[in-house]
Amino acid sequence: MKKLNMLYTGLVIAATMGSAQAQMRIEISGVGSNQIPVAVAGFANEGVSPQKISEIIKADLERSGAFKVIDAGVITDVNNIDYSGWKAKGADALVVGTVDALADGRYDVRYKLLDTVKQAKISNLDKAVTAQFTRLSAHLIADDVYFQLTGIKGAFSTRIAYVKQEGRNYQLMVADADGESEQLALRSNEPIISPSWSPDGTKVAYVSFEQKKPVVYVQNLITRARTVVANEKGSNSAPAWAPGGNKLAVALSKDGHTQIYTVNADGSGLRRASNSVGIDTEPQWSADGQSIYFTSDRSGGPQIYRMNPDGGDAKRVTFGGSYNISPRISADGKTLAYISRRDGNFQLYVLDLASGQEQRLSDTTSDESPSFAPNGKYIMYATQSGSRKSLAVVSVDGRVKQRLTTQAGNIKEPTWGPFMQ
């Protein structure tokens, strides 16, 4: 929890240099198959907290599509539960909790997850948090509920990064996974593109045009210190972190046409990885560090390939359609997400790498920049409806869809942060 607190503290400090006024609005459609019925009670005395913790938990669970959330009102006596009564109301599990203000200004947040069938406790958490971490404590509780009832880690306490554009004003933003607690990481009058989280969640790599050309930077979100990672002749683009966090893959045109290179996170040790007569770009590391997926037009149109990080022969991965770009690989290495152009539409697809089966996940027609949630169950991407650009989230089975919009400006270039270590 220490590193997580440091990161959030750093982001709060960064926010003093400018915070977004408009938060995101989330629209949800569809539900998952076999929803788990969970009753969530208002936490006793949670009015003393700056955040209504039970409401955040409910919103997280509903947004996932995995649960049928039952409003349980407020339960003040969390040690005297009518298990049979809640089971009769259709709840398989019950979330209860309390919040108490401590003398040192912190808040003691306690929670229990109860099994109404076995009439037993499944899990519990007890955290003393400062005011700024009350929202995080709610997300962590929702993560625990998700894990205990599905066996999969929740991703509610993770962060997202994206670019917000209003005219010639570009802002690199960081927010909670639900779009709340928006913080400004960088403001520029020149474009910012391709943000990419470091594996430990403390840094973001991105491309900035502030030098009137694309340059790759790494920014520490806690100290705000920036490092130039790639500023070679020509274009420097598409940074992607290696799993260890000590190096990145980038796309550079320094030798004439764009190819994939690897470079240390401090900008040293630049090394060419791909070597083709075509354009190789958009590198993405596999979670095990054994492969780099990338986009190349070496076969004529853009397709997705896989190669060893040291280079060598690349193998083509996508064969459906004549135009496939923006590869993203799930943490378990089983699923590839990408943008495919079919019938003039740019849409989000996923490919099961074992079976070769592909599936279209989006209903929109101008999608870009997919990014997996760290648990592999959801994909965030940018899309456009009319003249407005917004973010969307879809479950990997395509059943649950969300749209994240703001009142002002376009939002694009999303990237989902990792689990905090």
The confidence score (pLDDT) of residue 20 equals 42
In this predicted structure, what is the pLDDT of residue 118? 96
pLDDT in tens, 110-124: 999 999 999 999 999
Give the pLDDT score at 421.
Answer: 58
**Residue 247 clears pLDDT 50, i.e. is over it:** yes
The full set of domains in the chain, from first to last, is 25-150 (3.40.50.10070), 159-417 (2.120.10.30)
pLDDT at 30: 66
Indicate the pLDDT class of residue 33, thresholds 50, 70 and 90. Answer: low
Element (DSSP H or E) covering residue 146: helix 134-150
Residue 292: CB partners within 8 Å, gap ≥ 6? 240, 249, 260, 273, 283, 284, 285, 286, 306, 307, 308, 309
The predicted structure's pLDDT at residue 15: 39
133: number of CA atoms within 13 Å, CB side? Answer: 21
* DSSP character at residue 420: P
Tokens of 403: 């749209």
pLDDT at 2: 42
pLDDT at 13 over 80: no
Q: Kindly report, residue by residue over 358-397, the tens digit of the pLDDT.
A: 999 999 999 999 999 999 999 999 998 777 889 999 999 9
pLDDT above 90 as % of the chain: 84
**Residue 237 scores a pLDDT above 80:** yes
**Closest to 86 (Cα-Cα) out of 103, 73, 105:** 73
Q: Which residue has the higher pLDDT, 10 or 234?
A: 234
Better-predicted residue by pLDDT, 251 or 181: 251
Between β-strands 67-74 and 36-42, what pairing exists: parallel, antiparallel or unpaired?
parallel
Q: What is the pTM of this model?
A: 0.92
317-373 pLDDT, tens digit each? 999 999 999 999 999 999 999 999 999 999 999 999 999 999 999 999 999 999 999
Task: Count Cβ neighbours within 10 Å for each residue of 128-156 and write b for 16 or more, e otherwise.
Answer: ebbeebbbbbbbbbbbbbbeebbeebbbb
Q: Are the CB atoms for 186 and 171 separated by under 8 Å?
A: yes
Which pLDDT does position 28 carry in this prediction?
A: 64
How far is the first Cα of the chain from the last one, in angstroms, to the nearest whole number? Answer: 8
The arithmetic mean of pLDDT across residues 210-233, rounded, is 96
Average pLDDT value for residue range 53-80:
95
Provide the pLDDT for residue 403: 86
Q: Which residue has the higher pLDDT, 76 or 12?
A: 76
Which residues have CB under 8 Å from 226's CB, separation 6+?
Answer: 217, 218, 219, 220
Mean pLDDT, the chain, whole residue set: 91
Q: What is the pLDDT of residues 134-181, one digit of tens each?
A: 999 999 999 999 999 999 999 999 999 999 998 899 999 999 999 899
- Decide which of 30 and 175 is more confident: 175
Q: 């993405």: which residue's tokens?
A: 284
Encoded tokens for 320? 């459906």
The pLDDT assigned to 17 comes to: 38
